Amino acid sequence: MNKGYIHIENLSKSFGFQKVLDSINLQFDKGDFVTLFGPNGAGKTTLIRILSTIIKSDEGSISISDYNIKNEVQNIRKIIGLLSHENYLYQNLTVFENLKFFGKLYNIKNAEESISCKLNKIGVYSKRNELIRNLSSGIKQRVSIVRSIVHDPEIILLDEPFVGLDIKGSEYLLDIFKEFKKENKTALVTTHDLRLGLHECTKVVVLNEGQIKFNDRVENIEIDKFEETYKSLIYS
Amino acid sequence: MNTLAAILWKDIINELRTKEIVLSMAAFSIVLVVIFNFSLVINNDNIGYLVPSLLWISIIFVGTLGLSRTFAIEKENSAITGILLSPIDRSMLYLSKVISNLIYILITQFLLLFLFVVLFNININGEVGLLIIVMILGAIGFSTLGTLFSTMAINTKLRELLLPVILFPVIIPVIINAVRATSIIFNGGGYAEISPYLKILICFDIIFLVTSALVYEFVVEES
């Protein structure tokens, strides 16, 4: 069997007595743009955090770009970017200082030019010299988006990226998604917004109570009827 | 080394802007020395034995306060997770944290020494260089172990309470030898008398630094 670019096999994770992920099997190809839907507590964030190497699974195996997450974790970290609920930014550093700092951790070349370009794309270049603590949550979220892609990762994991973004911010993010697709990058996005989630995706996965309830390519889905399908999957 | 410099730069810039770590440590130092000055009867007979103990007790109390603050900054917005997502060597993160903690501890340590010398009228008998070496070796031991344990305590609810409970028993060898060496200097002794204590301090510093750097990856990844 051909292994995918991201290969997840029998993945399980519990917190205490609560099983959050239960024998998950998933496979994504390079360039896949996957939207992960699911109600609160479905296990979406846990899955994203395991893939990003922040937490470890209890059982199962994951390989990303042929690297095994257990013993080649540093290689995986080089090619993964994560946007999470928390922004991971230092309150008392400016936007630019934060991004330059995170850029240095990845040894990126031409950091200033690359960061300025990304800040422009997300519409916060004018805020580059402001301290994070003085920014609104929406602007922080935009800066955090730049932080997650500061090293031009091959794989981007976005956990509810639209939260806190205004219409303009969401448009900027969708433009970035288009760019990812053009560059054949792989993305895994979690969201509750069916419209935004289906916008650019190539594959849809529905997770509920730690189990995969739906996993198919977008061309096999009737977009207009997906809301009904989704409701039947999570409320049945 | 780039990583180490980047994390150190970030910590120093953060502290220069907020001044919350060094200022809180300095304020606590002043309060402690003033309380000691009013509550204890110190004369020529006991000054050489009592003041070194008080000095090092103050250093570990004030240092523990600083350690808690350094990691509280990393917890804001879960910023440390941003660092852990990157492929940096975890020992570089550890070393940078040790150096920044060492800088904060040394600053307040010399403030404490100054306050003790002035308020208790201590005569160091010209052995300032030796005293500085003892202070630095003691501070290295404290910050190497303190950085490791404060990382362990970072995600616990009672981290301010837990940190001294797990740190103080292990740091005892460093403190005992630092107190003895300081006491000898305050009593007019020289290098020959304190050299055994200096050697023990150097040994503990190396042991703490190497073992902590080796285990730090497991501690920080799980925290």
DSSP code per residue over A24-39: EEEEE-TT-EEEEE--
Of A74, A80, A102, the CB nearest to B82: A102
CA distance A176 to A172: 6
For A123, the 3-state DSSP assignment is coil
CA distance A30 to A2: 13
Burial of A97 (C-beta count, 10 Å sphere; 0-12/13-18/19+): buried
CA distance B41 to B54: 13
DSSP code per residue over A77-116: HHHEEEE-SS----TTSBHHHHHHHHHHHTT-SSHHHHHH
Looking at the DSSP assignment, which residues form a beta bridge with residue A6?
A28, A64
For chain A, percent of residues with pLDDT exceeding 70:
98
Let me know the angle formed at the C-alpha of B3 by B1 and B8, rounded to the nearest 5 degrees. 95
In a domain, A208, yes or no: yes
**Is the Cβ pair A88, B77 closer than 8 Å?**
yes
- Cβ contacts of B139 within 8 Å, gap of 6 or more: B59, B63, B102, B105, B106, B109
Q: What is the pLDDT of residues A150-209, one digit of tens each?
A: 999 999 999 998 888 888 888 888 888 888 888 989 999 998 888 777 877 889 999 988
CA distance B211 to B148: 10
Residue from A15, A85, A104 whose CB has the most chain B CBs within 10 Å, to mutate? A104
A-to-B residue pairs, Cβ atoms closer than 8 angstroms: 66
At A75, list the tokens. 């290689």
For A57, the 3-state DSSP assignment is coil
The more confident residue out of B156 and B199 is: B199
CA distance A129 to A140: 13
Q: Which of B101-105, B129-133, B160-164 has the lowest mean pLDDT?
A: B160-164
Q: At what angle do helices B90-119 and B2-18 cross, to 10 degrees?
A: 40
For B89, the 3-state DSSP assignment is coil
Query: Which chain A residue's Cα is nearest to B72?
Result: A90
What is the domain extent for residue A109? 6-235
The answer, yes or no, to whether residue A146 has pLDDT greater than 90, is yes
Specify whether the CB–CB gap between B21 and B13 falls below 8 A. no
Q: How confident is the model at residue B76 (pLDDT cuts 50, 70, 90)?
A: confident
Q: What is the pLDDT of residues B47-65, one digit of tens each?
A: 888 899 999 999 999 999 9
For B19, the 3-state DSSP assignment is coil
Give per-residue burial for B141-169: e unless 16+ CB within 10 Å, then b. bbbbbbbbbbbbbbeeeebeebbbeebee
Q: What CATH number has the domain bearing residue A13?
A: 3.40.50.300
> Between β-strands A186-190 and A33-37, what pairing exists: parallel, antiparallel or unpaired?
parallel
Residues of B in contact with A74 (CB under 8 A): 87
In a domain, A121, yes or no: yes
Q: What is the pLDDT of residues A59-99, one digit of tens each?
A: 999 999 989 998 899 999 999 999 998 999 999 999 999 99
Please count the structural domains in chain A: 1
Q: What is the ipTM of this complex?
A: 0.89
In a domain, A65, yes or no: yes
CA distance A78 to A122: 23
In Å, what is the CA distance from A68 to each residue of A60, A111, A200, A203, B76?
11, 29, 28, 23, 31
For residue B160, what pLDDT is reported? Answer: 79
The model's pTM: 0.89
Residues of A in contact with B10 (CB under 8 A): 90, 93, 97, 101
At B26, list the tokens. 């300095």
Query: Which chain B residue's Cα is nearest to A77?
Result: B87
